[in-house]
Amino acid sequence: MTTPVNAAPAVPAAAEENALPARSGSRAWKKLKRNKSALFGFLLVAFFVGIAVLAPILPIADPAATSWSAIRKPPSELYWLGSDEIGRDILSRMIWGAQASLLAGVVSVLIAVVVGVPFGLLAGYFGGWTDQIISRITDALLATPFLILAIALAAFLGPSLTNAMIAIGLSATPIFIRLTRGQVLSVKTEDYVEGARAVGLSDVAIMSRYILPNVFAPVLVQATLTVATAIIAEASLSFLGLGQQPPDPSWGSMLNVAKNFMTQAPWMAWWPGAAIFLVVLGFNLLGDGLRDALDPRES
């Protein structure tokens, strides 16, 4: 009936097969550390996150405390970054403003990921009419300019930082729907997904245990890059008066006030402008670094 193929015995051969390749460890993290610009981005982001988190315990003035004797003072020993048009300490407002900017950036992206990824997952996994409906709505949303959509939503929901976050989050959602859908389409064709079905897993289990973990990397990269966009969007909305409301500080609203005093007190615009530039740069460099680090094709 059946005869074993030639003389290769299964057991000793298997022992030979037990030679194990060296453990690769966290390759992505090592790659990220080697990438100088990504490391710089990481440090920038870490710095701003640090001051935002430590804002309540740092020895700084009350960001809302006014002083009639210190109106539009240039940087000095008392006011390191100068003071604004009603004598508030700009350093303090910058640090508290970092909280608003980063919070807006991160929360709005979280909203976008939490809403966008599941829809992308459904569209990509099931295809057919589910995909048609979700993708057409996504197309329509993507055709609307990001800021216009955010302004419309912020105007509709009323001006506040929370509503600005919701507006920015919803307008960033289609990016994540489309990205996730595309990734799911490619992962879906892998044998292990068919293998999951062969084992008897349900669609929900396949999506959560097989598809989602394998589309996570590009979503993470996109999220990091979108935080930068969202910070600019929050600053823009605050600049337009649709984000953080006075007297709470935000970089965007600080710039809005500063534009009236460009010649008399340029430092009022310098600091928030530079801060927005640096934090956005930081997130972009970090995002690019993550993309390279998580890409298995590059060594």
Partner 1 sequence: MSSDTRDVILEARNLAKRFPVGMKLFGERQSVRAVDGVSLKVHRGETLAVVGESGCGKSTLARLLLRLIDPSEGEVFYGGRNIAALPRAEMRRLRKDLQFVFQDPFSSLNPRMSVGAIIEEPMRVHGLGNAAWRREEVARLLTRVGLRAEFADRYPHEFSGGQRQRIGIARALASGPKVLIGDEPVSALDVSIQAQVINLLEDLKQEYDLTLVLIAHDLAVIRHMSDRVAVMYLGEIVEEGATAALYAAPLHPYTRALMQAIPIPSPRARKAAVKLTGDVPSPLAPPSGCRFHTRCPLADLRCAVDRPALQDVEPGRRVACHHWQRVAKEGTAALAEPEASQAARRRLSLYRDRSERQQNSVPQSES
Pick 189 or 263: Cβ nearer partner 1: 189
Binding range to partner 1, per CB under 8 A, among 17-25, 87-95, 154-162, 278-286: 17-25
Minimum Å distance from CB 210 to partner 1? 6
> Are the beta carbons of 84 and 72 closer than 8 angstroms?
yes
Count of residues in contact with partner 1, rule CB under 8 A: 36
Amino acid residing at 118: P
Contacts of 4 (CB under 8 A, 6+ apart): none
How far is 177 from 96, CA to CA, in rounded Å? 33
Pick 37 or 214: Cβ nearer partner 1: 214
If binding is defined by CB under 8 A, does position 25 make contact with partner 1? no
Count CB-CB contacts under 10 A for residue 199: 9
Minimum Å distance from CB 12 to partner 1? 9
How far is 193 from 229, CA to CA, in rounded Å? 34
If binding is defined by CB under 8 A, does position 128 make contact with partner 1? no
Minimum Å distance from CB 184 to partner 1? 14
How far is 141 from 180, CA to CA, in rounded Å? 16
How far is 187 from 193, CA to CA, in rounded Å? 8
Q: Which of positions 152-211 make contact with partner 1 (CB under 8 A)?
A: 190-192, 194-202, 205, 209-210
Residues that bind partner 1 (CB under 8 A): 1-6, 8-11, 13-15, 17-18, 20-21, 23-24, 190-192, 194-202, 205, 209-210, 213-214
